[in-house]
Structure 1
Amino acid sequence: MTIVMNLLSLLFSTAVVYSNQSTVPLRSFKMSENVTYDCVDIYKQPGLNHHLLKTHKIQVKPSVSRPELKMQTGNNETSNKKKIRCPNGTVPILRNTKEFIKNSQFFAKKHIHPLTVDSPGTHIAGVRSNGGPFRGVEAKFNGYTLNVGNDQASYSQMYIGGGLKDEVNFISAGWMINPGLFGDGRVWTFGFWKGKDGKGCYNTACSGFIQVSKVVPILWYSIHKDKNTGNWWITRLMKDEPNEDIGYWPKELFNLLDNGANMTGVGGVVQASRSGSGPPMGNGNFPNGNHEDSATFTNIKVLNSNYEQSQMNSFPIDKLVDSDKCYGLKIGSLLPFYRLRFGFFFNYGGPGGNSCGV
């Protein structure tokens, strides 16, 4: 079942202590019993506490407007039943527990991405393009309710990054079910980065990400490099209203992305339990050619070295499926009707099980 829920309450549902917040918030929004956002001064937000950002000056909006990033077609839009609107000059920051911060640091070390050394129990189904340099990636996709065990994880993501020998710079965003990280089996939005010091972080669980939107405290939809500053922005793409530039990862955090990324892609990833049982991926169904029956990534686009946008399949792509007994991938139809409606798209996912392999 497609998740159509409040984006503002998806992110990091833990209790009510923000460890780095030393100033009194001007306003707070309690989204649920365990989720509260505080409106804090944009220039005193905890993201600026990172040791690489001591001289960083906040970029309040992208230097170049990107109307071409607007969403062109629609799967179900996520609703906002509860709205956050912080006062001018403030941004919404989630109150985190010490336990969540500890868990996020643990899972950041083992976060799975296409440059990760083979990890036992990890399985993927998606597409990737190498070469570049790429300046951005966007895709439209949904999160789904799934039965994922306490020692399993299942997520769908778009990503962009690069590697050199044993070093990796990496940015991803999407949907995740990870009870060990979030403390429950719900679907959460996430943003993740790994930079020049070899450490990674989820959203605002630690310093690094700079929030600028006073309305949307989440990470999703489009990742793109700012042409003038080199910062990596995350933008929420809207169908019938202006896009929302949420924030960015400053260029100071990275040492391998100065000239763009040499790899980008989208897809699903799962982590099996210690017993070897693989969780479901996507919506739990194998792709059968009908885009409505299984999980789908649509309108998958990239920005090339000249900041020109095109469908990802304009570049050579690799299909990544490493356990076809449990998960599958089917590239979308090339018929004009589907190209016009969905652009480059594919269906992916599967039920998981005990025969997925190592």
Structure 2
Amino acid sequence: MAQVHLFLMVLPIVSFVVSSSVTTGYYEHPRRLLEHIGVPSFNSTSKVTHRGSKLRASSHQEVDEIDHVCGYQSSVATYYGVIATMDVYTFQNLKESERILAQIWVVDDTEQTQLTSGWEVNPSRYGDSKTHFFVDWTINEKDGCPNLLCAGFVPVNSSTITPGDILEPSSGQSRITLKIFKSKEDGNWWLHFGTDTKNLKPVGYWPKGIIIKLLDHASFIQWAGVTFSYNGEISPPMGNGQWPRSSSAASFRNVQYVDVNGHGYDPSWDSLHAVETHRECYRTGVFRMEVEGNMFYYGGPGGCTS
């Protein structure tokens, strides 16, 4: 299956849904219509108007893969990294044509280079329906690969986890914390992994020699849940399948940027934009500043066919 790399690019604003904070720490951020690499545009009803990448189904007929995204994206600025704690779930019976992910991105100013990490259920990649830890990267929208399938991401020997490893959430759910940041000492982009922000350990790094367009800093950050499905087939659940209005829905917590010295700091109100591409099937919840280290719920039951 061809690898589809995501980057969400802000288009001119078509509409906003904004409400003032009614409780300290709560704010409804503007919804933006988005453009994806490989998915040229979305109309005002959030349905795909141009198709995504061409993939081969088991019948050997060409099919279109559609991606669905919910989360938050930064405005354009100078960033040195991103932190998040995300809920991790299992999906025992996912079909080969489906994928479910939760991930963080850092992206360069040309919108062509990105570094990504998170968890995914991806039967076509791993040959099972288990939840896996993953990393990914792409340069110029084409060069790069997931996990350790090509030379690029460099794992460290002391790491307790390797890209591609299986995550086995107890009772079907757990949490992991990830930090992607540019090291002031060596100039490489490092990935740290842990169960919370207090026990992060290095997994490996993307060498500065290959990530030329991120040599100094990133220009966009994103935290999001993602699903993939074939056009015409019913899309899978995102997160844990619950709408974000429920406190038991999937979440991102400890949402932060990283400064030049590698320290996390809170995002400002005006630097975030909510991402929703298929609101009839998935939603992004209200961003809750200073609640569990800054957090939001996301997800939905799925069911989109285009």
TM-score when scaled to structure 1?
Answer: 0.62
1:193 alignment partner, one of 133, 137, 141: 137
Paired residue type of 2:123: P
Number of the residue aligned with 2:185: 228
Question: How many residues of Structure 1 are paired with residues of Structure 2 in the alignment?
Answer: 241
Instruction: Report the AA paired with residue 84 of structure 2.
Output: A
Given that 1:149 and 1:279 are in contact with CA atoms closer than 8 Å, whether structure 2 keeps it comes out as no
Report what 1:151 is aligned to: 97
Tell me what 1:297 maps to. Answer: 252
What is the correspondence of 1:142-181 to structure 2 with a 5 Å cutoff? 142-146=87-91, 147-164=93-110, 168-181=112-125
Structure-1 separation of matches of 2:244 and 2:197: 30
- Residue 237 of structure 1: aligned partner: 194
Distance 1:241 1:304, change over 3 A: closer
Larger of the two Rg values belongs to structure: 1
Residue by residue, what CA displacement relative to the aligned partner does 1:9-68 show, whole Å, maximum 9, x if unpaired?
xxxxxxxxxxxxxxxxxxxxxxxxxxxxxxxxxxxxxxxxxxxxxxxxxxxxxxxxxxxx
Indicate yes or no: 2:281 matched with 1:326.
Answer: yes
1:114 aligns with 2:71: no
Offset of residue 232 of structure 1: 0.3
Match of 1:347 among 272, 277, 297: 297
Residue deviations 1:297-348 (CA, integer Å, cap 9, x gap): 00100024575532234551111111111111112445xxxx25x1211000
CA RMSD of aligned residues (A): 2.3
Flag the structure with higher helix content: 1
Contact 2:112 2:141 in 1 (8 A): no
In structure 2, do the counterparts of structure 1 residues 241 and 131 end up closer, same or farther at CA, with 3 Å as the change threshold? closer
Task: Give the aligned partner of residue 73 of structure 2.
Answer: 128
- The match for 1:256 among 203, 213, 219 is 213
CA 1:191/1:351 → structure 2, altered by over 3 Å: closer, same or farther?
Answer: same
Shift in alpha-carbon separation, 1:213–1:289, aligned structure 2, 3 A: same
Question: For residues 286 and 197 of structure 1, do their structure 2 counterparts lie closer, same or farther at Cα, with a shift above 3 Å needed?
Answer: closer
CA deviation profile, 1:135-164 (whole Å, cap 9, x unmatched): 010100122122422111110001111242
Cα distance in 2, alignment partners of residues 239 and 296 from structure 1: 14
Cα distance in structure 2, aligned partners of 1:309 and 1:243: 12
Q: CA 1:215–1:308 in structure 2 vs 1: closer, same or farther (change >3 Å)?
A: closer
Cα separation, partners in 2 of 1:197 and 1:318, compared to 1, 3 Å: closer
SS in 1 for 2:253: strand
Contact 2:70 2:277 in 1 (8 A): yes
Q: Secondary structure at the match of 2:149?
A: coil
1:240–1:199 CA distance, 2 compared to 1 (3 A): closer
Corresponding position of 1:246: 203
CA contact (8 A) 2:85 2:196 kept: no
1:214 aligns with 2:214: no
3-state SS in 2 of match to 1:133:
coil
Could you tell me how far 1:229 is from its partner in structure 2? 2.1
Matched residue type, 2:5:
H
Structure 2: state its 5+ residue gaps: 10-36, 40-51, 53-64, 164-176
1:113 and 1:319 map into 2 onto residues whose CA distance is: 14
Quote the offset at 1:132 in angstroms. 1.9
The aligned residue for residue 64 of structure 1 is: none
> Aligned equivalents of 1:321 and 1:239: distance in 2?
27
Distance 2:256 2:82 in 1: 6
- Which residue is 1:7 aligned to? none
